[in-house]
């Protein structure tokens, strides 16, 4: 079986992930920060170790600014609903995932002004377009780091400079890049970074987080939920301390233990090495698909301008049929459809059917790509 759906969830996981989760349940199953006994203390140590590893990965000096959430969607909602009120102006792009667009449309109905920057047919964003849209009076700019349909990388550092010049903050959706593309939040000027644990970081589902950059004053961000934190229990008001202000309720400690192990794997392997491996796989996919004249590929032609996400359509074949045949006849697992990104497909002109999406990962081999390309050729030539 060849698994090419890493943009949805990475698989397989590094071997240490399951072991870390089993060890947590067997040896440190206490509630972190809720008690003073040894199991609670050990659980708290494991959670904090994961926080430190994530801070190191993204070049954040204060690990307490790593706020654990259930996924990137949870983190994005925390940022958007915690910052924006009626009358605020927010700028985003036309290639955002529904994790961004759905909460924004909900906020728009409550009086937030949403301005959408149009993107090019390959999913890229022109800096001229960004410069026209990001103007004084904008409170927040929200941009995906890499699109989940085309893999197109957006110029985050330049967008950050424009946002700051206009007096706005920048929220980056790094669901597709965390763990597979170097991210330095200080150098890139990112104020808020939403990440998920189950994709490029190769951790378990149900993990993720929101990183508060050092320019951002946490006092301006309201919690998405309020409740028990294990700290300041004598008060009925949510504490202001980080990360407790934003982490109400018992955390997914066993998942965070697995995430800590997967981040350690990423750091040990090296993000630059992971990126180089995926660029090679992407290049092979792009070249192979280009040899099929009836296949149309979306996104940049240069693999350096994208992540390892390649979408295509084969005219005359429904994307659902291609995906089913790849699975049942050739043991190739991919994703088809709209990929929770209708805005992107409207930009590409592939709405409403969507595309076939191939997303190799760290454990994908060149021979897997060769088999996949041969399988697609067979499907196309038989049609």
List the catalytic residues: 340
Query: For the stretch 36-67, what's the b/e string if a residue is b when 16 or more beta carbons lie within 10 angstroms of its beta carbon?
Result: eeeebebbbebbbbbbbbbbebbebeebbbbb
The CA distance from 315 to 295, in Å, is 7
Q: Estimate the share of the chain in helix, then strand, then coil, as percent rounded to the nearest 5.
A: 40, 15, 45
The CA distance from 264 to 54, in Å, is 9
Residue labelled with tokens 């060149």: 366
Residue of 298, 339, 340, 337 lying closest to 320 (CA atoms): 337
Residue labelled with tokens 């009076």: 137
The CA distance from 314 to 166, in Å, is 43
∠ Cα 173 159 285 (to 5°): 60
Residue 179 · residue 186 · CB < 8 Å? no
The CA distance from 169 to 83, in Å, is 10
The CA distance from 181 to 335, in Å, is 22
Of the CA atoms within 13 Å of residue 239, those in its CB half-sphere come to: 15
């Amino acid at each position: 079986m060849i698994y090419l759906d890493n943009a949805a969830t990475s698989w397989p996981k590094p071997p240490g992930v399951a072991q870390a989760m089993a060890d947590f349940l067997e040896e440190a199953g206490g509630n972190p920060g809720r008690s003073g006994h040894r199991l609670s203390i050990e659980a708290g140590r494991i959670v904090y170790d994961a926080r430190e590893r994530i801070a190191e990965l993204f070049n954040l000096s204060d690990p307490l600014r790593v706020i654990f959430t259930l996924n990137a969607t949870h983190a994005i909602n925390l940022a958007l609903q915690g910052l924006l009120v009626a009358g605020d102006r927010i700028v985003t792009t036309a290639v955002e995932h529904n994790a961004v667009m759905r909460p924004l449309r909900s906020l728009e109905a409550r009086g937030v002004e949403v301005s959408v920057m149009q993107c090019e047919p390959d999913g890229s964003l022109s800096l001229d377009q960004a410069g026209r849209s990001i103007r004084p009076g904008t409170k927040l700019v929200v941009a995906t780091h890499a699109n989940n349909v085309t893999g197109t990388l957006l110029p985050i550092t330049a967008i950050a400079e424009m946002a700051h010049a206009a007096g706005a903050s920048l929220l980056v959706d790094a669901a597709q890049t965390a763990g597979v593309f170097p991210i330095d939040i200080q150098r890139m000027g990112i104020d808020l970074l939403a990440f998920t644990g189950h994709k490029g970081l190769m951790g378990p589902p149900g993990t993720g987080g929101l990183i508060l950059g050092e320019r951002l004053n946490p006092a301006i961000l309201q919690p998405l939920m309020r409740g028990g934190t294990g700290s300041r229990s004598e008060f009925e008001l949510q504490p202001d301390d980080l990360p407790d202000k934003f982490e109400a309720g018992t955390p997914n400690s066993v998942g965070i233990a697995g995430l800590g192990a997967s981040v350690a794997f990423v750091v040990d392997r090296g993000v630059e090495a992971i990126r180089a491996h995926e660029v090679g796989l992407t290049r092979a996919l792009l070249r192979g698909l280009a040899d099929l004249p009836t296949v149309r590929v979306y996104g940049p032609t240069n693999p350096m301008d994208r992540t390892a996400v390649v979408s295509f359509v084969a005219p005359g074949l429904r994307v659902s049929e291609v995906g089913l045949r790849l699975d049942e006849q050739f043991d190739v697992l991919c994703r088809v459809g709209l990929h929770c990104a209708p805005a992107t497909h409207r930009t590409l002109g592939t709405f409403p059917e969507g595309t076939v999406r191939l997303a190799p990962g760290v454990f994908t081999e060149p021979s897997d790509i060769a088999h996949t390309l041969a399988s697609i050729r067979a499907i196309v030539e038989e049609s």
